[in-house]
Structure 1
Amino acid sequence: MDETHGEQYIKTKTNGGVRVEIKDVLVEGTTKKVFTTSNADEVLIEFLDTLPSHLAKKKETVKGKAAINNAISSFLFEYLGSYNIPNHYVKKHDEKSMLAKRLEMLPITFHIWNVAGDDLVERFGFEKYQVLEYPVIEMTLKNEKLNFPFINEYHAYALKISNRSEMDQMTRIATKVNAVLKSYFQRRRLMLGDIRLEFGRAGNAIFLGDEVSPDTFVLYELDDKGRVANPDKFQIKGSKKLDVYQAYYDLFFNK
């Protein structure tokens, strides 16, 4: 890369050798920066070492996390694409960034639970770490000022942030993503505990966006009877957060 991301009109090479200009910061969030490029239909997503708000009450960084999340997201977006799941991934750009289809992101997060984590236990009285017979699908509005309230499809219509066709597409894609990844991990004696998904539109089509990484999903080991075992192994908390990110990385790349 010729210069640091973030300055205007920075020239860099893609993996294919084509010159791409990384231009302005389009969006800067807690865990990623999104840049416009010389291709109006593509953006560059740069991963950051900062922890997301649901994993840290105050700003905290874990050095090395950005590269791990970029590698895992790139792998899983390609894997989901092999199952004809529409997503924004184009290609891995460098250690900490990827090129992606430019989307108009929708301010809705789908949260799918396969195992009853603390939040579900507190709200509904499930047994802690209970493996659910049917996935629980919840939606929240991406609005920090409102404390990310729970919503349903009718809120989305009333707020004019999505329509019935888009909600149907998102629900269908979210359900398929969960099924595909749940199967992938079960073959490795792991359970996809829960996963957060975000979507964007391009024209009339909906695509899976954002990232698919340890910042957005939780895994559990399973015992011989299919019950959750060693539940803390893949929980990103405490003083050894980088070790947990590394454990996730090893699942995919150091088999």
Structure 2
Amino acid sequence: MAKGKKLYEGKAKVLYEGPEPDTLIQYFKDDATAFNAEKKDTIDGKGALNNRLSEFFMNGLTQIGVPNHFIKRLNMREQLIRSCEIVPLEVIVRNYAAGSMSKRLGIEEGTQLPRPIVEFSYKDDSLGDPLVPEEYIIAFNWASQQDLDDILALALRVNDYLSGVMYGVGIKLIDFKIEIGRVWEGDFMRLIVADEISPDSCRLWDIETGQKLDKDVFRRDLGNLTDAYTEVARRLGVLPANVAPATKPTIVH
């Protein structure tokens, strides 16, 4: 399927015009970044794995009635998605303390939270995606109170789905982030899950060993990132359990 002109390039993906109105082609890059892009590398195979895993999760959400932007996977690195207006927020759902929460509050990593906690950060790399309270979101018209209620409901449904799927393959869902988009159907606007769901946007720990199977492997120099993502894909049945990666993962500096 022929791509149109490039519309946007982020740290991990590129968006192109799609073949039909209100569609885009989303290309998954091999680039890995951390600490607001202060740490960068290109990791062979990462984009293809994230493409397949995001397809798996988005299809799963569709099956349980959670609206999202995914239409179909086109090839190993591209998928056709629905165009939407992205709400300028990252929606973070935490089941266990980790990462920035542990640093902010002095809570030991891996501590189970009394209930899932939903946080919002303002999407602006130059500001470091700062956490923002609901009052700011409404005051600056990034989203209405009704939008926030709907976003919260969507986020918790995604959490229920992901937690169950991961637990079934021996993985603990520590936290994750999603983005939300607005789509219009005539005069009616609704909110959908957008961007991607992959080990890039989740913290995933092996239930038995605590081994990290997410981007913290890259952030903290804990091993080979592609191996970690491949393990997640194998457990979920996205890749055959007995097939080795087609190419040896390499890091290009």
Same fold (TM over 0.5): yes
**Equivalent pair of 1:116/1:126 in contact (CA under 8 Å):** yes
In structure 1, the partner of 2:123 is: 142
Question: 1:222 aligned to 188, 200, 207, which one?
Answer: 207
Question: 1:181 aligned to 144, 162, 167, which one?
Answer: 162
Query: 1:231, 1:137 → 2: CA distance?
Result: 24
Q: What letter is aligned with 1:77?
A: M
Shift of 1:251: 1.8
**Equivalent pair of 1:52/1:215 in contact (CA under 8 Å):** no
In structure 2, relative to structure 1, the CA distance for the partners of 1:175 and 1:233 (3 Å cut) is closer
Count residues with an aligned counterpart.
Answer: 231
In structure 2, the partner of 1:83 is: 64
Q: What letter is aligned with 2:205?
A: Y
Backbone CA RMSD of aligned residues = 1.7
In structure 2, the partner of 1:15 is: none
Shift of 1:231: 3.6
Identity among equivalent pairs (%): 25
Shift of 1:22: 1.9
**Equivalent pair of 2:92/2:177 in contact (CA under 8 Å):** yes
Query: 1:99, 1:213 → 2: CA distance?
Result: 17
Correspondences of 1:26-45 after superposition (within 5 Å): 26-45=7-26
Consecutive unaligned residues in structure 1, runs of 5 or more: 1-11, 13-20, 224-228
Consecutive unaligned residues in structure 2, runs of 5 or more: 242-253
Query: 1:222, 1:55 → 2: CA distance?
Result: 28
In structure 1, the partner of 2:76 is: 95
TM-score where L is the length of structure 2:
0.86
Query: 1:133, 1:30 → 2: CA distance?
Result: 33
Runs of 4+ in 1 over 3 A off after TM superposition: 52-56, 231-235
Q: What SS class does the counterpart of residue 114 from structure 2 fall into?
A: strand
**Equivalent pair of 1:182/1:191 in contact (CA under 8 Å):** yes
Query: 1:95, 1:137 → 2: CA distance?
Result: 32
Query: 1:90, 1:43 → 2: CA distance?
Result: 10
Shift of 1:56: 5.7
Q: What letter is aligned with 1:177?
A: V
Shift of 1:233: 5.1
Q: What SS class does the counterpart of residue 248 from structure 1 fall into?
A: helix
Query: 1:242, 1:131 → 2: CA distance?
Result: 27
Q: Does 1:243 align with 2:227?
A: yes
Question: 2:88 aligned to 107, 112, 128, which one?
Answer: 107
TM-score where L is the length of structure 1:
0.85
Q: Does 1:205 align with 2:185?
A: no
Higher RCO (CA-CA < 8 Å; seq separation 6+): 2
